[in-house]
Chains A and B, each alone.
Chain A
Amino acid sequence: VSQDFDETQPMTRRTHPALDPDSLTSLRELADDDPSFLTDLLAVYIQQSDMLVATANDALAAADVDAWSRAVHSIGGSSRNIGALQLAAVCTAAEKLAREGNGAGSFVLIKRLKTEYEAVKGEIHLLRAVKITHRTDGEFRPIFHGFVHEGR
């Protein structure tokens, strides 16, 4: 999964998962035999990121560059931790634009950020559903096999 983000390219079609499978594998290895570690971690991620995305949105509307920059930095950091690498890349691009004082670009990126975040949340919910299946019938199912998401 590429970590580079090109803000000049429209995001019309997702051809890779929003959550990096290798990162998820690492987290599962860390979880060892504790099945709810990853679920709990992702729940914390969503709880934390919901607030941060709202903060970023408000900060941009209020033209508060520092608050915007801090919020997208935090979203990027926690996204990187769970393997949401494309979202992290959007956040890195947003921080760069904020440093350059590019307000118009920031308004473009908040839309990308929200779209990408929704994709991440969607995959987290899917992950939870698969996890329940895995726990009840003991059968392993690949989560991201052939995953294609139509973006805007």
Chain B
Amino acid sequence: MSDEKQDPYAACPRPLILIVDDDRLVHSIFARALASFPGTIIHAYDGPQALAIGREATPDLLIIDALLPGIDGRIVAKTLKMEPLSSFMRVAIMTALYKGARYRNEALQEFMADVFLEKPVSPARLWEVIENLLHVSRPAATPSPSTHAIPEAITTGQERGAM
């Protein structure tokens, strides 16, 4: 028996975005808005899950809510940023609670975020962040996915293309 661990994210098209929020509506809206994203979208719903997936998947962009069950989203972001394998990751911290200049500065400086987003985050703003941080252009036409139930843990451009 081999001790070698399988990497479940090895075949995922890049760039890879990890979206973390305990509000399932945010996942549904973001999944819909990013239906034409050419890489991979991964969904997580609490702090410990985000940390575990973040370490395995080494996302190119982490979009994470500040207030999460288990571990504060800002701590998750900083923890991953300080680990060598995910130190290149870009980070957008979202919040509906920690609003204002003080928390913005704290997120950008102490918690190593690239972008601070006050909720609700519109699809246009979401794409703006992705274009700025990942240099991925928004495709002109958004394909309509055949399903829009609560997103599965992973959705990829390839899978969507096969729908």
Contacts and interface: CB of A to CB of B under 8 A. Distances in A.
Interface residues of A, number: 24
Interface in A64-105: 70, 73-74, 76-78, 80-82, 95
A11 interface: no
Contacts of B149: 40
B114 interface: no
Interface in B7-34: 22-26, 28-29, 32-33
A73 B148 CA distance: 25
Contacts of B119: 77, 80-81
A70 B72 CA distance: 12
Contacts of A107: none
A36 to B, nearest CB: 7
B97 A73 contact: yes
A26 interface: yes
Contacts of A27: 29
Contacts of B120: 77, 80-81
Contacts of B25: 41, 44-45, 48, 78, 81-82
B32 A30 contact: yes
B150 interface: yes
A74 B22 contact: yes
Interface of A is mostly: helix
Given A30-B123, A32-B142, A73 B32 contact: no
Given A41-B29, A48-B25, A80-B119, A32 B144 contact: yes
Contacts of B85: none
A109 B75 CA distance: 31
Interface string B87-115: 00000000011000000000000000000
Contacts of B28: 40-41, 44
B62 interface: no
B77 interface: no
A78 B149 CA distance: 16
B67 interface: yes
A34 interface: yes
A37 interface: yes
Given A26-B122, A81-B120, A31 B23 contact: no
Given A44-B24, A78-B24, A78-B25, 8 more contacts: A30-B33, A31-B32, A32-B144, A40-B149, A73-B67, A74-B22, A74-B23, A77-B96
Interface of B: 22-26, 28-29, 32-33, 67, 96-97, 119-120, 122-123, 142, 144-145, 148-150
Interface of A: 26-27, 30-34, 36-37, 40-41, 44-45, 48, 70, 73-74, 76-78, 80-82, 95
